[in-house]
Chains A and B, each alone.
Chain A
């Protein structure tokens, strides 16, 4: 019988610092046994496992259209993420996944997509952006707009890639930081303010919104003012998790489990959940 608690081996092939304060680190992983490689969709997550140190869930930052590796960006906050940060290239760890649901890419085919991210919550939005812009998928979608904010340039993740996207013409990229600093010639201001300034038209547009709770709290009214209904605004929820497969009870909110019924929910769904997100 299949044992859903059993991780499969992956090798760390590349590690790089994602922020100047070294709290964010990006790991590229390859399956040790290529026949165990799994398919996934943008928005899904995995449990990364280090024997003896534990397990924790992380959103997949690669797109399924990028073959051959999986990418995760990890914020060092506790015992397990510290153990991850101490890994060296070439080491083997375990992975369980793909877990959870994904951004509703089928539902918004033929529509415009507004992607709004803040801080290091860009991981699965990176997956989504690359997926939508893949040659095979791009004709299925209208305008793609990305608004991404970080506290300061040094903690802006995937910055080289974002600046590359800025020069490309099938996506509108708007990068912003909280306060002006020397050498920054792009936007300055919080994500809700920038969204309000840009005033993207809501007609035929779906929103994928991920970031710290405070950013979400202030961006939602802005989007409402612009005419986006909650049914068309999606986010990926965070909750402390253990099993990732709907058994351990930890990520229960209302009648849902974030791990198996989410992590992607529309705000129309979230409004029906009695507890605060």
Chain B
């Protein structure tokens, strides 16, 4: 497959070319929070930070989204009219998150109309991570700083330029149609190997993640959960910043016979998430709610979609106001399950 090179001063031209066919989303620093947003004509992406604070999932799954419009007796579904989407500058962890959310939203029973409307014909251009930070742990959960799952193109930063590797047929087609790109020479392609290896080498070695599901299953009623929850405030920043948390609420808003049905990101960390009409709440304690989050991601999702509901982006580690680190919990639970197993 042909690799291409994109000189950094040509990024704006590359975006302008993409804009002819796509709504282009890229990292921006908007009112103090970094996120993916559609670029206006002439607007440059901000490539200075490793990860946006908000996960890239909002490109296909907005935090608030209209499902239906109501007017008088008429109910009509909201239509997505933004055209095909290209994302530039997403990190491999976020790109992999798209695939995981999609496994839930598009299964053989029901296909999510709204997710698919935005995902249709979309082009994902990821940028590999030359310098993972200490919070990164994609290598624990099946990914890597140059992972390609979920991406159509992987860009590798070599300082002066990006080397673009087409991953899918769509990516190949898109790159070959670009005027601002040149083919990379074999030497230039070879030159990415060293920074790739350095990045992977710099990351913390994962514990025995293949034992994690069984370990957690054996610890469901263990006091370990009380220890990990003791300082948890239940603020839910971990779920809102997570690229694979997909839970949502549905709410109606209306005024004088006109209104909308909305879906809004929701969180299993709030008691009202499971509180029933009768007042009964099957998850009363913060311990049971944090346990749900970890069990769902590291045990239940192995059963439902055969992979972890975690891409190791580390946003939950960075954002937690009381420094709860999911990796510490993983290591502790593996140790504890092993001790328990040995004791039997």
Residues of chain A touching chain B, judged by Cβ–Cβ distance below 8 Å, are: 1-7, 9, 51-56, 75, 77-78, 81, 92, 94, 213, 238-240, 242-243, 245-250, 252-255, 260, 274-277
On whether the beta carbons of A81 and B277 are closer than 8 Å, the reply is yes
Listed from nearest, the 8 A-B pairs whose CB atoms lie closest are: A249-B247, A52-B254, A51-B70, A255-B303, A77-B277, A245-B110, A3-B113, A255-B300
Chain A residues near B299 (CB-CB < 8 A): 255
Main secondary structure of the interface of B (DSSP, over half): mixed
Contact with A247, one of B105, B217, B276, B304 (Cβ below 8 angstroms)? B105
Chain B residues near A274 (CB-CB < 8 A): 217, 220, 295
A275 to B220, CA, bound (A): 9
A61 smallest CB distance to B (angstroms):
17
On whether the beta carbons of B113 and A247 are closer than 8 Å, the reply is no
Q: Can you name 14 extra interface pairs (CB under 8 A) apart from A4-B113, A275-B288?
A: A4-B112, A6-B68, A6-B77, A51-B75, A51-B252, A52-B257, A77-B277, A213-B280, A242-B248, A245-B109, A249-B266, A254-B300, A255-B299, A274-B217
Number of chain B residues close to chain A: CB under 8 A? 51
B111 within 8 A of A: yes
On whether the beta carbons of A75 and B277 are closer than 8 Å, the reply is yes
A82 smallest CB distance to B (angstroms):
11
| Chain B minimum-CB-distance residue to A257 | B304
On whether the beta carbons of B68 and A255 are closer than 8 Å, the reply is no
Given known A2-B113, A51-B259, A239-B274, contact A247–B77 (CB-CB < 8 A): no
Chain A residues near B253 (CB-CB < 8 A): 52
Residue contacts A-B, CB under 8 angstroms, 12 given: A1-B113, A51-B70, A54-B250, A56-B277, A239-B282, A242-B249, A245-B109, A248-B250, A250-B274, A252-B292, A252-B300, A255-B303
Given known A6-B75, A248-B247, contact A275–B282 (CB-CB < 8 A): yes
Chain B residues near A56 (CB-CB < 8 A): 277
Of residues 157 through 182 on chain B, the ones whose CB sits less than 8 Å from some CB of chain A are none
A249 to B105, CA, bound (A): 11
Chain A residues near B16 (CB-CB < 8 A): none
B339 within 8 A of A: no
| Chain B minimum-CB-distance residue to A6 | B77
Chain A residues near B259 (CB-CB < 8 A): 51-52
A262 smallest CB distance to B (angstroms):
13
A29 smallest CB distance to B (angstroms):
16
A252 to B299, CA, bound (A): 13
A30 to B93, CA, bound (A): 49
On whether the beta carbons of A5 and B275 are closer than 8 Å, the reply is no
| Chain A minimum-CB-distance residue to B256 | A52
* 0 or 1 for each of B272-314: is its CB under 8 Å from A? (1 = yes): 0111111010110000100010011001110110000000000
On whether the beta carbons of A248 and B107 are closer than 8 Å, the reply is no
Chain B residues near A51 (CB-CB < 8 A): 68, 70, 75, 252, 254, 259, 261
Contact with A276, one of B217, B251, B282 (Cβ below 8 angstroms)? B282
Contact with B107, one of A1, A55, A238, A246 (Cβ below 8 angstroms)? A246
Chain B residues near A53 (CB-CB < 8 A): 252
Main secondary structure of the interface of A (DSSP, over half): loop
On whether the beta carbons of B300 and A247 are closer than 8 Å, the reply is no
A263 smallest CB distance to B (angstroms):
13
B215 smallest CB distance to A (angstroms):
13
A275 to B283, CA, bound (A): 9
Contact with B250, one of A1, A238, A242, A252 (Cβ below 8 angstroms)? A242
A123 smallest CB distance to B (angstroms):
15
Given known A53-B252, A248-B266, contact A240–B104 (CB-CB < 8 A): no
Given known A52-B259, A245-B109, A255-B304, contact A5–B67 (CB-CB < 8 A): yes
Chain A residues near B112 (CB-CB < 8 A): 4, 247
A110 smallest CB distance to B (angstroms):
30
Chain A residues near B70 (CB-CB < 8 A): 51-52
Contact with B110, one of A4, A92, A276 (Cβ below 8 angstroms)? A4
| Chain B minimum-CB-distance residue to A77 | B277
Of residues 226 through 269 on chain B, the ones whose CB sits less than 8 Å from some CB of chain A are 246-254, 257, 259, 261, 263, 266, 268
Given known A6-B68, A247-B248, contact A252–B296 (CB-CB < 8 A): yes
A90 smallest CB distance to B (angstroms):
13
A113 to B111, CA, bound (A): 36
A75 to B276, CA, bound (A): 12
| Chain B minimum-CB-distance residue to A213 | B280
Chain B residues near A276 (CB-CB < 8 A): 282
A277 to B149, CA, bound (A): 37
A92 to B74, CA, bound (A): 11
Chain A residues near B248 (CB-CB < 8 A): 242-243, 247-249
A213 smallest CB distance to B (angstroms):
7
A78 to B300, CA, bound (A): 31
B31 smallest CB distance to A (angstroms):
28
| Chain A minimum-CB-distance residue to B276 | A240
B73 within 8 A of A: yes
Chain A residues near B251 (CB-CB < 8 A): 54
A223 to B232, CA, bound (A): 41
Chain A residues near B304 (CB-CB < 8 A): 255
B251 smallest CB distance to A (angstroms):
7
A238 to B283, CA, bound (A): 13
Given known A3-B113, A54-B251, contact A238–B67 (CB-CB < 8 A): no
Chain A residues near B212 (CB-CB < 8 A): none
* 0 or 1 for each of B93-134: is its CB under 8 Å from A? (1 = yes): 000000000001101011111101000000000000000000
Chain A residues near B252 (CB-CB < 8 A): 51-55
A250 to B259, CA, bound (A): 24
Contact with B104, one of A1, A7, A247 (Cβ below 8 angstroms)? A247
